[in-house]
Structure 1
Amino acid sequence: MTTSTGDTPLRARSAPPAPPPPAGRGHRDLILYLGVAYAGMWLAMAPLLAAGFRRGDARQSTGTLEELCIAAAMFAPALAAFVAVRSRRSAGRDGRVRDALALRWPRPWGRAIRDCLTAAAVPAGLTAAALALGALTGHYPVRGVDAGGLAGWAAGALLGMVVSLPLFLGEELGWQGYLFPRLLAPGQGPGRPPRLLRAYVLTGAAFALWHLPTLLMGGQYPGRPWYVSVPAMVVSCTLVLPVFTWLRLRSGSVIPAVVAHAFVSSVSVGMVKEFAGPEAALDPLTMGLTGWPGWVVMGVFTGFLAWTGRLRPWPDR
């Protein structure tokens, strides 16, 4: 599941996070970003909340209104990132918006293709491992797989993922492009190291709580009350965030993180449904990357990334 590369050229290629802004200004920028991102999510979900929409089953499909509201919400983090960066630029800080948010293709092009393929292959492997763990423990009702049908489904799922990439770019420009690098910035004073644990935990928590309107409507954990779905979402997002961040740091670009996020939120969810018995009840708390089998698998993989130093962005360590 892991792509092995030489660490020295990899770190040299990765762009370091943006330098920390002066004390006080940095906090205002972060508050501005979070305020716009969260307000955008709530405004986008307002029609569904007002209509009393609630998802009660994991197999339930979404209608046109739900899709439009979700699409609008997914652009909120990108809008927030642009507003926050433009605010800093007006104060004489940060360069181009594209550079500030790592909105660039990995270079060279061959490396970009390999990074994007890795961004799809790793979540696919993690999802398969989570489903296997669920099946072995009796929590995932796996069914027989027809090779011909599976190939057709996979082609359609990957095509749908590619079409959805602009939406996930809207999210990752905010979380990986803006928020994580600024929370990672070194503390005040010479020689201070990046604040790794703080950046991962706070970004994961902010990413999870941003989904609160959808969680209240049963979006990610249908049929579960908020006091179950919200903590579960915090765990899921905190564990998957290092995977996205690793892809972002190793390439110096948010694009691989966008690909991985799109795979996790579309193809991975589809894998849970595709490989389960047609009449089986699907519980996201016990299946796939959103449930405890996924937490175990992602926790092990994140531990491997941390142990091998792949989650540290600084070339000089």
Structure 2
Amino acid sequence: MATPLWLTGFRRAAPSQHAGPLVAACLFAMMVVPAAVAILLTRWRHPWRDLPAIPSLALPRTRRRVAVQCLWASTVFLAITLVGLIPAALFGLYRPTCLYRPTWPQSTWSLLAMPLSAMISLPLYLGEEIGWQGYM
């Protein structure tokens, strides 16, 4: 999926770098193709109804269990972040700007754009996760 980028010599220097149509198409394909392949290969050998359970993507049967698992996932994510940031801050490698000078988004639109961006990007991230988890 990245071959066109390699052939054109594309180098991503920063996350804010402008991406043209070719870059956007290749990045989209790189994120969606793993899930498509995992789903197609799983479907080849199993019926549709078994598809979520095979790569361990089926939700638990009770809402309580779903809530507990979401809470654990959030807690683990926060713990991993703190385990990385606290030592970095102690050694002076990370300086949390919010403690010194709070910065807020410049407009209401940028606040609204954050959750919208997350919702639009979610299928792409799920494509990689479903694909690689399904593959493994």
TM-score between the two structures when normalised by the length of structure 1: 0.34
Structure 1 pair 109/52, CA: closer, same or farther in 2 (3 Å)? same
1:55 aligns with 2:9: no
Query: Contact 1:100/1:177 (CA < 8 Å) preserved in 2?
Result: yes
CA RMSD, aligned part only? 3.4
Structure 1 pair 105/131, CA: closer, same or farther in 2 (3 Å)? same
Structure 1 pair 173/54, CA: closer, same or farther in 2 (3 Å)? same
- The correspondence for 1:79, drawn from 23, 36, 41, is 36
- The correspondence for 2:24, drawn from 45, 58, 67, is 67
Q: Which secondary structure state, in structure 2, belongs to the residue aligned with residue 98 of structure 1?
A: coil
Aligned to 2:119: 162
Aligned to 1:99: 53
- The correspondence for 1:125, drawn from 51, 55, 79, is 79
User: Which whole-Å CA distance do the structure 2 matches of 1:100 and 1:109 have between them?
Assistant: 21
Q: Which secondary structure state, in structure 1, belongs to the residue aligned with residue 53 of structure 2?
A: helix
* 1:251-266 matched pairs, under 5 angstroms: none
Residue deviations 1:131-188 (CA, integer Å, cap 9, x gap): 2222222222442352x728x8887545533332211221122222341xxxxxxxxx
User: Which whole-Å CA distance do the structure 2 matches of 1:176 and 1:94 have between them?
Assistant: 17
* 1:1-317 matched pairs, under 5 angstroms: 44-57=1-14, 59-65=15-21, 66-89=23-46, 96-143=50-97, 144-146=100-102, 149=104, 157-179=114-136
Structure 1 pair 60/119, CA: closer, same or farther in 2 (3 Å)? same
Deviation at 1:54, TM superposition (A): 0.7
Q: Which secondary structure state, in structure 2, belongs to the residue aligned with residue 138 of structure 1?
A: coil
Q: Which secondary structure state, in structure 2, belongs to the residue aligned with residue 133 of structure 1?
A: helix
Unaligned runs of 5+ residues in structure 1 are 1-43, 180-317
Structure 1 pair 60/70, CA: closer, same or farther in 2 (3 Å)? same
Aligned residues between the structures: 130
Aligned to 1:183: none
Unaligned runs of 5+ residues in structure 2 are none
Superposition misfits of 4+ residues, deviation over 6 angstroms: 152-155
Deviation at 1:61, TM superposition (A): 3.2
Amino acid at match of 1:130: G
Aligned to 1:252: none
Percentage of identical aligned residues: 32
Amino acid at match of 1:60: S
Residue deviations 1:40-59 (CA, integer Å, cap 9, x gap): xxxx22222222111224x5
Structure 1 pair 97/114, CA: closer, same or farther in 2 (3 Å)? same
